[in-house]
């Protein structure tokens, strides 16, 4: 079989995507498998079962990252692919899952064709990529590349209370392998775009050349609970009003800054959260992102100024805790070019682009040449059960991944 003619089996890939989506299934066709919950554990069990069926050597490291290794002919550093299978609470069926299952599909195609690559191939499944239950996001790959001490990560607290290390133990994925033991020669991640660019352009493949910086913080606003009916407006210290003022400010700031600045208040909790009580306390999260680190820092500074003025004017205290802070990342130009060349050879419309979302590839880029392949998200919808990518596009992305991984794995000099 001529390697460039190898193609994935779309039916098998889609069947596995459907099977995994049924674990933690929610209305609308999506899944909820928050990191290290029972459903995430069941999802992991299913992926490990598929890895074992395919004869891969499976290892689990101390932060719960899963690796399926397919040996090569030469004892060289492996080429790695993969992503995550944890989801947000309103997750779709492709975010992260496509990268993991397409990686397994690539290995199955090589088995079926009796092909052994020079370098070993590895599929990684990284812990807590979403950061929805434990902060920061991309936690498993961050620890894997040495960006966060293991002990600190194991002590991370879930938004519902449990300690990360205890949850790993509870679902049986506190692995024995030391983190970072597998040092890849290169890393390529296939992922849905989760934005509207490819869909609007009618382009099938995104060769992702960079990824925007991320600033996550949790704000705690302490006011004074009081009677909603008797307290004159001038005497209020209303944490609920202050939280909403932050949400409207960051929206206005992003619009005024333009230049790709985005801002989201995605989580607001009020206490005591009652109709007739002025809120004593508000806890909220702010997500700021920009491809330009200088502009991202400017957005953080403007928010800090606004918070100081708001605290003074409303007579509340505002505390801030950094949940995640990652600078923009530029992917490896040679790997990006290789993705473009493969897409061109497969007659697929392709373009270079930036990732608006965070991904495990941004962490792997700290230790090896890394890049990403995007496929279109219909109407740019993601983190929503309605998340959809056309089957032909899923297969096109998996075929670009297949050919890119085979080329990298047979190249002595990556
Ligand atoms: O937040 C993100 O960009 C990713 O979904 N973790
Ligand atoms: Mn993802
Ligand atoms: Mn996501």
CA of 113 to the centre of ligand 1 (A): 36
What's the pLDDT band for 320 if we cut at 50, 70, 90?
A: very high
Burial (CB count <10 Å: 0-12, 13-18, 19+), residue 200: exposed
pLDDT one-digit tens code per residue, 63-82: 999 999 999 999 999 999 99
- Asked if residue 210 has pLDDT above 80, the reply is yes
- Please tell me if the CB atom of residue 199 comes closer than 6 angstroms to any atom of ligand 1: no
CB count within 10 Å of CB 340 equals 20
pTM: 0.97
Query: Using 50, 70 and 90 to split pLDDT, how confident is the model at 53?
Result: very high
Q: How confident is the model at residue 149 (pLDDT cuts 50, 70, 90)?
A: very high
How far apart are the CA of 278 and the centre of ligand 3, in A? 35
φ, ψ dihedrals at 169, nearest 5°: -60, -45
Write out the two tokens for 172: 């049986």
Q: Is the CB of 91 under 6 A from ligand 1?
A: no
Measure the CA–CA gap between 206 and 357, rounded to whole angstroms.
14
Burial 160-177 (b: 16+ CB within 10 A, else e): eebebbebbeebebbbee
Query: pLDDT-derived band of residue 281, with 50, 70 and 90 as boundaries?
Result: very high
Q: How far apart are CA 187 and CA 338, in angstroms?
A: 12
How far, in Å, is the centroid of ligand 1 from the Cα of 330?
17
With b for 16 or more beta-carbon neighbours within 10 A and e for fewer, the 357-373 pattern comes to: bbbbbbbbbebbbbbbb
The share of the chain scoring above pLDDT 90, in percent, equals 98
Ligand 1, atom nearest to 194 Cα: 5
Closest CA to 86 of 49, 47, 127: 127
CA dist., res. 342 & res. 400, Å (int): 6
Residue 41 beta carbon below 6 angstroms from any ligand 1 atom: no
Tell me phi and psi for residue 67, to 5 degrees: -135, 135
**Can you tell me the mean pLDDT for 179-204?**
97
| Alpha-helical regions (H) of 69-138 | 97-112
pLDDT of residue 1: 67
Between CA 146 and CA 316 the distance in angstroms is 39
pLDDT at position 2: 80
DSSP-assigned letter for residue 37: S
Mind listing the pLDDT tens digit for each residue in 334-386? 999 999 999 999 999 999 999 999 999 999 999 999 999 999 999 999 999 99
For each of the domains in the chain, give its residue range(s) and CATH number, in order of start: 3-211+329-410 (3.40.630.10), 213-326 (3.30.70.360)
Ligand 1 geometric centre to CA of 177 (Å): 26
**Integer Cα distance of 200 and 223 in angstroms:** 45
DSSP strand pairing (79-83 vs 66-70): unpaired
| Residue 129 DSSP SS3 | coil
Helix (H) or strand (E) holding 191: strand 186-192
Q: Given the CA of residue 129, which atom of ligand 1 is nearest to it?
A: 6
**Ligand 3 mean position, distance from CA 144 (Å):** 19
Angle between helices 10-21 and 38-53 (to 10 degrees): 150
Alpha helices for 315-359 (secondary structure H): 333-345
**Ligand 1 lined by 358 (C-beta under 6 Å):** yes
How do strand 205-211 and strand 350-355 relate by DSSP bridges? parallel
Instruction: Give the mean pLDDT of the chain.
Output: 97
What integer pLDDT is reported at residue 414 of this predicted model?
Answer: 81
The pLDDT of residue 413 = 80
Q: Residues 45, 51: contact at Cβ < 8 Å?
A: no
């Amino acid at each position: 079989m001529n390697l460039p003619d190898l193609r994935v089996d779309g039916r098998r890939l889609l069947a596995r995507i459907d099977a995994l989506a049924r674990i933690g299934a929610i209305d609308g066709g999506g899944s909820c498998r928050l990191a290290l919950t029972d459903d995430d554990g069941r999802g992991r069990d299913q992926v490990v079962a598929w890895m074992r069926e395919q004869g891969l050597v499976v290892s689990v490291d101390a932060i719960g990252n899963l690796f399926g290794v397919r040996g090569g002919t030469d004892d060289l550093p492996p080429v790695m692919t993969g992503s995550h299978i944890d989801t947000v609470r309103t997750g779709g069926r492709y975010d992260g899952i496509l990268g993991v299952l397409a990686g397994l599909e690539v290995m199955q195609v090589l088995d079926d064709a009796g092909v052994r690559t020079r370098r070993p191939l590895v599929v990684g499944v990284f812990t807590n990529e979403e950061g929805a239950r434990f902060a920061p996001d991309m936690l498993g790959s961050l620890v894997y590349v040495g960006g966060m001490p293991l002990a600190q990560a194991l002590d991370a607290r879930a938004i519902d209370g449990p300690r990360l290390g205890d949850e790993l133990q509870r679902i049986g994925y506190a692995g024995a392998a030391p983190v970072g033991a597998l040092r890849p020669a290169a890393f390529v991640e296939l992922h849905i775009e989760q934005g509207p660019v490819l869909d609007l352009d009618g382009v099938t493949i995104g060769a992702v050349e960079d990824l925007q910086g991320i600033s996550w913080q949790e704000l705690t606003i302490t006011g004074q609970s009081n009677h909603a009916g008797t307290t004159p407006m001038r005497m209020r210290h209303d944490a609920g009003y202050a939280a909403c003022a932050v949400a409207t400010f960051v929206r206005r700031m992003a619009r005024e800054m333009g230049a790709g600045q985005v801002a989201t208040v995605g989580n607001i909790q009020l206490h005591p959260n009652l109709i007739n009580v002025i809120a004593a306390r508000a806890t909220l999260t702010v997500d700021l992102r920009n491809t330009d680190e200088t502009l991202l820092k400017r957005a953080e500074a403007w928010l800090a100024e606004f918070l100081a003025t708001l605290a003074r004017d409303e007579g509340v205290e505002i505390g801030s805790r950094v949940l995640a802070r990652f600078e923009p990342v530029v992917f490896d130009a040679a790997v990006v070019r290789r993705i473009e060349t493969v897409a061109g050879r497969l007659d697929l419309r392709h373009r270079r682009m930036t990732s608006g979302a965070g991904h495990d590839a941004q962490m792997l880029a700290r230790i090896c040449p890394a890049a990403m392949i995007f496929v279109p998200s219909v109407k740019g919808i993601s983190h929503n059960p309605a998340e959809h990518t056309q089957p032909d596009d899923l297969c096109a992305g998996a075929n670009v991944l297949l050919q890119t991984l085979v080329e990298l794995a047979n190249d002595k000099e990556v």
